[in-house]
Chain A
Amino acid sequence: MNFLEKSKEIRKEFIEVGYFFESCNKLFNIELVAENKGFKKKITQNAIHRPGLALAGYLDLFTYNRVQIFGNTEASYLKKLSSTKRIKSYEKFFSFDIPCVIFTNGNEPDSDFKKLAKKHNVSVFKSKYSTTKVVYYLGDFLDDQFANQMTIHGSLVDVYGVGILFVGRSGIGKSEIALDLVERGHRLVADDIILATRKGEGILMGSGTSLIRHFMEIRGLGLLNVEKIFGVRSIRFQKRIEVIVVLEEWNPKTEYTRTGLDSIHTNILGVDIKTVRLPIFPGKNITVISEVIALNYLLQHYGYDAAKDMQERVEKGISKKRKSRDNRVITYFEHDFE
């Protein structure tokens, strides 16, 4: 689809350990053990690593460039070693360029470990939470940080719980439709600049930017703050993008779907999103059509497809080879003259 042509796919190349600490501290309370060193180091991978085998001396395939987690296994193994062996193990571990280390389950590094961490400028954190919990939070946080992102020019509105992304050329009326939908009780996610982020398999989330939030521009009026005008019920901060509506000028030469049996999809960041091409012309109420698109999407989601239903009816009608042409739907109310 051409509306994606100008959008660039982006992915963070790294996050700094300092930023990592700040964000994770908010999420699940990690504490800094050693001094504030190594905050400029870069984390480049969304995966984490348990260095048990590396500490035991098996250093092939040691993924040292990931965040290293020391859980109960690592801590109890290290405790069993003699102090010379332990220091040797530490030295080997720190000979690699480690981004940072987290001790979980309330485990703490010993003084030798702290010394070496300081020497190699590696930040060491600890958490009172279990390894499973830390891994869960970390995985989620790092996945989000390193997710593929894209900025898309359009408007994203939650219509009856369905995230509809309106796209089309500048000035075609995306903001006006979004405003109309908000006025009818639907919720604006963002107008103009949509940040699309891929979450897991097959999920595309959309949100606005921190600067614009829920401001929008309406030609002839200027800038509006939707949250201030319509209140908190009229907005939301993120929404899964489920349907794309491409607004186009009516072109008699273009063929539009008439049955809805042939659905089109747009691939954004590897996620296929159902797409509707909507020709606009004066007198056409795009807002109501958008609501119907959302409701129809919900029906399909719950297993009902109007186009398929109609197709089956026609097929049934054909196979009956009806001789009589009694086509009226109502036979019971024959004497109802109302």
Chain B
Amino acid sequence: MIQKEVKIINRAGLHTRPAAIIVKLASKFNSEFYIYQNDLSINGKSIIGVMTLCAEQGSKLTLSFEGEDEEEACNEISAYFERGFDEL
């Protein structure tokens, strides 16, 4: 299992469009993907789950991957967070 902490850096936060892209990216991989925020744990392959986070600019999330392709999944998805959802 890999865990990685990421920060939301774009101004609009984790809104619908990036949420949909995260789910799309995640569903390419077989690994299980969960996102933790304070006391919430949500399945990263579910659009409703990701949108529930309502993560604003500056908030921190923990990504957790588990499965045979966990490393690729972690790299690709955390890179998307680090690029500010391509909105910078």
Contact = CB atoms under 8 A, between A and B. Distances in A.
Contacts of A8: 36, 39, 41
Interface string B24-65: 000100001010100111110111110110100000000010
A329 interface: no
DSSP majority for the B interface? mixed
Size bracket of the B interface: 10 to 19
A251 interface: no
Nearest to A10: B39
A209 B40 CA distance: 10
Contacts of B41: 6-8, 151
- Most A C-beta atoms less than 10 A away, residue of B32, B34, B43, B48: B48
B34 A6 contact: yes
A215 B42 contact: no
A170 B48 contact: no
Contacts of A6: 32, 34, 41, 43, 64
Size bracket of the A interface: 20 to 34
A120 B59 CA distance: 35
Nearest to B36: A8
B59 to A, nearest CB: 15
A249 to B, nearest CB: 13
Nearest to A211: B52
DSSP majority for the A interface? strand
B77 to A, nearest CB: 15
B11 to A, nearest CB: 21
A170 B51 CA distance: 16
B34 to A, nearest CB: 5
Contact of A170 (B39, B43, B54, B64): B43
A158 interface: no
Contacts of B51: 211-212
Interface of A: 6-8, 10, 149, 151, 153, 169-171, 191-193, 209, 211-212, 215-217, 223
Given A192-B43, A211-B52, A217-B48, 16 more contacts: A6-B41, A7-B41, A8-B36, A151-B40, A151-B42, A169-B32, A170-B45, A171-B45, A191-B48, A192-B46, A192-B49, A192-B52, A193-B48, A212-B52, A217-B47, A223-B48
27 contacts: A6-B64, A8-B36, A8-B39, A8-B41, A10-B39, A151-B39, A153-B46, A169-B32, A170-B27, A170-B46, A171-B27, A171-B45, A191-B48, A192-B46, A192-B49, A193-B40, A193-B48, A193-B49, A193-B52, A209-B52, A211-B54, A212-B48, A212-B52, A217-B46, A217-B47, A217-B48, A223-B47
